[in-house]
Chains A and B, each alone.
Chain A
């Protein structure tokens, strides 16, 4: 119950505090959006000092009063220091490499501050995910592992940047809501059927053992490795020719949305995502045909990302 209550209180508190909409980066944390509240230990410490102070005043015990007052002064100063740990901070960038749904997304939050003041032991929270950050020479980074559940754009929740420095008496926090569109790829199907065996241009001929016959050569295409270029035949033909290798089965695979019509939408996306990865792993050229667009044929990380992105951004089925 106390935990539930605390969570409710925190939600209520958060709903009152700025910002209430995502902000474009960079976000500067000014003093008006930094909040300082005492921790449990802070309250205990305050009670301790109050007891000391009242006892000392009652006895007119000046050394004891001096002790209580010096500690109180230091405690108050620590509140200011806690506040200053955050104010003046800037959230410069927030971004993440896309991951398949279901895998944690590493959100990198880049923080910056004019150096000169120590800002160490900052804590960055986003939902359940927490990470610590320290600003060395005015810059630092926190890496948050956000859970992902579905493909598409992910707008992260508000980030809470907080610290208990320096004495642990106060909890200083602020919220930042960076406008960051993070992409989550579709979850690849786990036990998918093997890749469809080719199609398109390359499907007519099986590749042969490497030789120097011209019909084993084909025209150079962007992205072919240099060592595959057949320089002599190229010189004869006047255009670049590339030797087809035996294992490069030569065929371009076509991953066609329409051919999977029997599956529900998400399953189709999931299978295509799996096949894209599979094709990449096997070094195959592939084309992805989706309703309204066609990608490739090509191969390589850029193509893979383009394909997965297209898959991820397909409209969600309305059930």
Chain B
């Protein structure tokens, strides 16, 4: 098929093909880093093998078909035959790995690069961190380099060692397009809500669980990645007040605490807030949940969330990207003193036939304390404080987990303490519930914000006291307050583990986290809301998209003009003296006294001077110009400036020549 061949171009030479393969590999790399390791480890050698095998001649079609079938089958099987974002990304990577097998001509290479550019895009669907972005953009730039090389090959441009200039050319193109890209990034109207559903971020980390089984949090408690960051405006709550409220659990089956959905659906109980208000901005890292945590207790639900019956906040869509809210909270001074009977029953519910020893102890305490609920609470906390220990190494509990914990092992962590405490209270007839969330956090001096890590996940208890309503009691704090209100400095002073010398490194971590926060803020968190705020801060009323579109159009026109000027500028004379000289010549040419190209400048000025005995100002100026230009010893910058000034100031006289 010679005609098709002619249309598709000549076969690529080795160097050009090498560039294309390298660019495709660079685009594939960030995607491979984000795919499950098994998939990535299968695809990478496959890509290398295909590229090596098809280097001299393309693989036969049947082999390509076989390979494609095998790879697709493997990918689908590995993902359980479900088509989701993950599968799509893995398939794309696999296709890209196979594509070199049929890359022979310019057109094939172009389609290879086109598909390769989708790989960084797919990467960003999985991960939006700085490393992915850097690698992805580097891959895209390399793809541009390969495209430059390809069109050079197509046009028959010989490239010797000049390949490196292609990098400059590619970066030049990106640089020239940058203002327009940034204008579009900031001003092009964003969608306030997605047009179509988006599958959740597969890589979002697990958030707080919506049930609690003591002994199950060990993974979470050793995960030091950030969960949220908080910046306070004005008053900052003391250590003992920094409880970040998440789920509230009412139901207990002897083993697991779960939510009571009907209570969540109720309106929150009326509460009298204390005088101190905390204003803060909360930035949540992505999780696979919809639960938002807030400082105890939030006064209202910010936009995009709803307040449930336990003062928990639920977002109206999954938190699969960094989100931020402006919130207000206040510690409760008093709740509504009355409690509906249905709630009281739920708050006293215990599974029958579990933990007999605990029940017996609680009955004994009730008998001794009479009506004084607070005394029972104090007694329980004192017991924990006196004879319990905090540890993460807890053996698996048997059937009567609370009994074993309270009377045998006497060590555990927040889940055990809060669970046992609530069971004890309920058995004594005091309404109680378990609350999970985060507690503590470390202060980042550089960014003036608090960082709460996943390892700060915490469970505590709330008891209903007559006349006061729900009161937070933290049995863990009674045992080991430093585990709850810890700071990085606390851990360092404890000197445990490999992070013993962490004190000196703390500023480094602070800077690192501060930068990461900036990333979330400026790169990931920019959305329709922020866009409007941006315009509002410029005193542009951006209530409608029209203002935004107008702003974008204006910026785009400016950016395009800049692009044209920037690209065309290379045509301009670089030497400012020459530039001034040309302008002077143009002024004369407009009056019809232009210098023909073959006439030397001085001869021209002399001709215009005619037979007049006095040298005209033009002749003087031209002589100076010629001296500057051809007598190199005269080139000092001050003289050049003077010459430029005089050249620019000179105007042909009305009567000249």
Q: Is B one of A's binding partners? A: yes
Q: Give the residues in chain A near B172, CB-CB below 8 Å.
A: 77
Chain A stretch 141-191: residues in CB contact (< 8 A) with chain B: 163-169
> B195 near A73 (CB under 8 angstroms)?
no
> A84 near B567 (CB under 8 angstroms)?
yes
**A9 lies within 8 A of chain B by Cβ:** no
Q: Give the residues in chain A near B524, CB-CB below 8 Å.
A: 62-63
Q: Give the residues in chain B near A84, CB-CB below 8 Å.
A: 567-568, 571
Chain A stretch 39-93: residues in CB contact (< 8 A) with chain B: 41, 44-45, 48, 52, 55-78, 80-81, 84, 88
User: How far does the Cβ of B209 sit from chain A's closest Cβ, in whole Å?
Assistant: 26
From known contacts A66-B133, A120-B157, infer whether A73 and B178 are also in contact, taking CB-CB under 8 Å: yes
Bound form: Cα–Cα A65–B125 in Å: 11
> B570 near A116 (CB under 8 angstroms)?
yes
> B195 near A80 (CB under 8 angstroms)?
no
**A234 lies within 8 A of chain B by Cβ:** no
From known contacts A77-B176, A164-B151, infer whether A60 and B196 are also in contact, taking CB-CB under 8 Å: no
**A10 lies within 8 A of chain B by Cβ:** no
Bound form: Cα–Cα A298–B137 in Å: 74
Bound form: Cα–Cα A75–B570 in Å: 19
> B177 near A77 (CB under 8 angstroms)?
yes
Pick the residue among A55, A70, A132 that contacts B137 (CB under 8 A).
A70
Measured as residues with beta carbon below 8 angstroms from the partner, the interface class of chain B is 35 or more
User: How far does the Cβ of A294 sit from chain B's closest Cβ, in whole Å?
Assistant: 41
**B509 lies within 8 A of chain A by Cβ:** no
Q: Give the residues in chain B near A38, CB-CB below 8 Å.
A: none
> A88 near B173 (CB under 8 angstroms)?
no
**B465 lies within 8 A of chain A by Cβ:** no
Q: Give the residues in chain B near A7, CB-CB below 8 Å.
A: none
Chain A, interface SS category? helix
Bound form: Cα–Cα A45–B574 in Å: 35
Bound form: Cα–Cα A117–B110 in Å: 26
> A116 near B184 (CB under 8 angstroms)?
no
Pick the residue among B140, B198, B563 that contacts A71 (CB under 8 A).
B140
Chain B, interface SS category? helix
**A299 lies within 8 A of chain B by Cβ:** no
> A48 near B124 (CB under 8 angstroms)?
no
> A168 near B151 (CB under 8 angstroms)?
yes
> A60 near B176 (CB under 8 angstroms)?
no
User: How far does the Cβ of A125 sit from chain B's closest Cβ, in whole Å?
Assistant: 13
Q: Give the residues in chain B near A60, CB-CB below 8 Å.
A: 190-191, 194, 321, 527-528
Interface size on A, residues (CB 8 A): 49
Identify which of A56, A59, A81 gathers the most chain B CB atoms within 10 Å of its CB: A59
Bound form: Cα–Cα A63–B185 in Å: 10
**A123 lies within 8 A of chain B by Cβ:** yes
**A121 lies within 8 A of chain B by Cβ:** yes
> B118 near A48 (CB under 8 angstroms)?
yes
**A114 lies within 8 A of chain B by Cβ:** yes
Q: Which of B142-150, B370-378, B473-481 contacts A (4 or more CB under 8 A)?
A: B142-150
**B497 lies within 8 A of chain A by Cβ:** no
Bound form: Cα–Cα A123–B169 in Å: 21
User: How far does the Cβ of A3 sit from chain B's closest Cβ, in whole Å?
Assistant: 9
**A106 lies within 8 A of chain B by Cβ:** no
Q: Give the residues in chain A near B148, CB-CB below 8 Å.
A: 166-167
Closest to B184 in A: A69
Pick the residue among A52, A55, A62, A116 that contacts B526 (CB under 8 A).
A62
From known contacts A73-B174, A163-B155, infer whether A58 and B570 are also in contact, taking CB-CB under 8 Å: no
Q: Give the residues in chain B near A72, CB-CB below 8 Å.
A: 177, 180-181, 184
Pick the residue among B132, B140, B567, B574 that contacts A70 (CB under 8 A).
B140
**B114 lies within 8 A of chain A by Cβ:** yes
Closest to A70 in B: B181
> B128 near A81 (CB under 8 angstroms)?
no
From known contacts A57-B191, A70-B137, A73-B174, infer whether A165 and B152 are also in contact, taking CB-CB under 8 Å: yes
Q: Give the residues in chain B near A168, CB-CB below 8 Å.
A: 106, 110, 147, 150-151, 154
Bound form: Cα–Cα A166–B524 in Å: 32
Chain B stretch 522-556: residues in CB contact (< 8 A) with chain A: 523-524, 526-528
**B21 lies within 8 A of chain A by Cβ:** no
Q: Give the residues in chain B near A132, CB-CB below 8 Å.
A: 155-156
**B117 lies within 8 A of chain A by Cβ:** yes
**B120 lies within 8 A of chain A by Cβ:** yes
> B567 near A80 (CB under 8 angstroms)?
yes
User: How far does the Cβ of B60 sit from chain A's closest Cβ, in whole Å?
Assistant: 27
> A45 near B181 (CB under 8 angstroms)?
no
Q: Give the residues in chain A near B118, CB-CB below 8 Å.
A: 48, 52
> A64 near B137 (CB under 8 angstroms)?
no
**B405 lies within 8 A of chain A by Cβ:** no
Chain B stretch 151-192: residues in CB contact (< 8 A) with chain A: 151-152, 154-157, 169-170, 172-174, 176-182, 184-185, 188, 190-191
**B564 lies within 8 A of chain A by Cβ:** yes
> A64 near B321 (CB under 8 angstroms)?
no
Bound form: Cα–Cα A77–B180 in Å: 10
User: How far does the Cβ of A89 sit from chain B's closest Cβ, in whole Å?
Assistant: 11
Closest to B176 in A: A77
User: How far does the Cβ of A29 sit from chain B's closest Cβ, in whole Å?
Assistant: 13
Q: Give the residues in chain A near B128, CB-CB below 8 Å.
A: 61-63
> A58 near B177 (CB under 8 angstroms)?
no
Closest to A167 in B: B147
From known contacts A63-B132, A66-B185, infer whether A167 and B151 are also in contact, taking CB-CB under 8 Å: yes
Q: Give the residues in chain B near A134, CB-CB below 8 Å.
A: 157
> A78 near B110 (CB under 8 angstroms)?
no
From known contacts A63-B133, A71-B140, A120-B157, infer whether A58 and B173 are also in contact, taking CB-CB under 8 Å: no
From known contacts A76-B177, A77-B176, A114-B571, infer whether A71 and B117 are also in contact, taking CB-CB under 8 Å: yes
From known contacts A70-B137, A81-B173, infer whether A63 and B523 are also in contact, taking CB-CB under 8 Å: yes
Bound form: Cα–Cα A72–B132 in Å: 20
> A165 near B155 (CB under 8 angstroms)?
yes
Q: Give the residues in chain B near A41, CB-CB below 8 Å.
A: 107, 110, 114
Bound form: Cα–Cα A78–B174 in Å: 9
* Given A66-B181, A73-B176, A121-B157, 10 other A-B residues pairs in contact with their CB atoms under 8 A: A48-B117, A58-B194, A60-B528, A64-B124, A67-B121, A71-B117, A72-B181, A81-B567, A116-B570, A168-B150
Listed from nearest, the 9 A-B pairs whose CB atoms lie closest are A73-B177, A121-B155, A168-B151, A69-B181, A73-B181, A77-B176, A64-B124, A74-B173, A63-B124
A-B contact pairs, 22 of them (CB 8 A): A41-B114, A44-B111, A48-B118, A57-B188, A59-B194, A59-B198, A61-B128, A61-B321, A63-B132, A68-B121, A69-B185, A73-B178, A74-B144, A77-B172, A77-B174, A80-B176, A81-B173, A81-B567, A114-B571, A121-B155, A164-B155, A167-B144
Interface residues of chain A, those whose CB is within 8 Å of chain B, are: 41, 44-45, 48, 52, 55-78, 80-81, 84, 88, 114, 116-117, 120-123, 132, 134, 163-169
